């Protein structure tokens, strides 16, 4: 019998955890809002818009083409963060009900992150609990600041308490920096370049990384040692400046070294950035137990199953490839799946 090279073993399952969608109700609310998407609406037009809207056969066909077995669905940025409290509460319930109905229709292909009405923090906590315990969603996606309040603001502490109590992860997704920050750091090159600079080129990633560090400095992980946060794009800059961030311990009243928070409260995912050197840097810091797979659909979708090829070509043992592809996610969401 011919022997199989372990490095060529096929992965039995690929779960991709940052895979976006959008509803016509949310799109209409953004349009009617004085804040809305803050200039990023152009990212969601044309073919991208069609793929965001579809939760059926066309999405499934592209998943098959990509070699993705399961998508974890989530509303694209900025979620409901910029909407009024009452409106966002109603939209969150309707959207999460839709996600649950989609998962029920295709139970072997979809899971989901709840979208929360962050502008109404008490309702957001209740909606997180309802989404997990009644709808079977895996956790929630947050989008950094809510208007002018950073995610570590006291108003949002109940959301983190609830997530920790439920044992479910919170995905901290980028949002465009505040207007004042954009005007100082990301302007002066024309509207199109300024927006790109403030979002996918750099601004998104510093913004999300800073929000995570704020949680650390504010003591959220000290209050909830088991709370688990997911950062995309290989850790949103945080991992690559860990040596400098660790120096915060000289002045901040932290209960643990910075590296311990990173290794005990953070999971990292590529968001469609198929870079082997970034993977190796991430492995050096958090280890193979804390990496999750994601393709950032539909924004980073490319034909040819590049994500699956990325894992297959990675310098990982067969067991570690399984962990990256699906086993880490299944372990992380065990509490939600066994309710």
- 296 noted as active-site residue: yes
Adjacent-strand bridge partners of 112:
73
Beta strands in the chain (DSSP E): 15-21, 70-75, 110-115, 139-142, 170-172, 229-231, 266-268
Contact by Cβ (8 Å): 21, 73: yes
DSSP label of 325 = I
Q: How far apart are CA 161 and CA 107, in angstroms?
A: 29
Q: Are strands 70-75 and 139-142 parallel, antiparallel or unpaired?
A: unpaired
Residue from 332, 36, 320, 22 nearest 163 by CA: 332
Residues 6+ apart with CB under 8 A from 304: none
Residue from 140, 173, 143, 176 nearest 43 by CA: 176
**Cis peptide upstream of residue 78 (ω within 30 degrees of 0):** yes
Token pair in block for residue 312: 């297959």
Distance between alpha carbon 204 and the CA centroid of its chain, in Å? 12
Q: How far apart are CA 338 and CA 65, in angstroms?
A: 30
Adjacent-strand bridge partners of 142:
172
Task: Tell me the three state secondary structure of residue 291.
Answer: strand
32, containing H or E segment: helix 24-32
Residues tagged active-site: 296
């Amino acid at each position: 019998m011919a022997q199989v090279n372990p490095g060529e073993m096929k992965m039995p399952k690929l779960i991709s955890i940052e895979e976006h969608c959008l509803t016509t109700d949310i799109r209409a609310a953004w349009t009617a809002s004085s804040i809305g998407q803050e200039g990023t609406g152009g990212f969601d037009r044309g073919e991208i818009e069609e793929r965001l809207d579809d939760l059926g056969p066309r999405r499934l066909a592209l998943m098959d083409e990509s070699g993705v077995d399961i998508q974890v669905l989530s509303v694209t940025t900025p979620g409901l963060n910029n909407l009024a409290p009452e409106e966002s509460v109603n939209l969150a319930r309707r959207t999460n009900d839709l996600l649950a109905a989609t998962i029920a229709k295709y139970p072997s292909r979809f899971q989901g992150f709840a979208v929360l009405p962050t502008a109404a923090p008490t309702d957001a906590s209740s909606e997180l609990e309802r989404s997990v315990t009644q709808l079977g969603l895996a956790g929630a996606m947050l989008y950094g600041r809510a208007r002018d309040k950073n995610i570590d603001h006291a108003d949002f502490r109940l959301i983190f308490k609830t997530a920790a109590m439920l044992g479910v992860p919170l995905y901290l997704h980028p949002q465009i920096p505040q207007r004042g920050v954009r005007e100082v750091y990301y302007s002066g090159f024309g509207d199109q370049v300024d927006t790109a600079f403030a979002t996918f080129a750099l601004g998104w990633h510093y913004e999300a990384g800073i929000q995570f560090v704020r949680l650390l400095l504010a003591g959220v992980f000290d209050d909830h040692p088991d709370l688990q946060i997911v950062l995309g794009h290989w850790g949103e800059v945080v991992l690559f400046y860990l040596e400098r961030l660790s120096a915060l311990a000289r002045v901040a009243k932290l209960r643990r070294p910075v590296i311990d928070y990173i290794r005990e409260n953070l999971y990292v995912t590529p968001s469609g950035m198929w870079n082997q050197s970034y993977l190796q840097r991430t492995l050096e810091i958090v280890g193979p137990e804390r990496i999750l797979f994601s393709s950032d659909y539909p924004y980073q979708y490319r034909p040819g199953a590049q994500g699956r090829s990325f894992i297959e070509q990675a310098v990982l043992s067969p067991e570690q490839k399984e962990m990256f592809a699906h086993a880490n996610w299944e372990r992380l969401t065990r509490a939600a799946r066994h309710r």
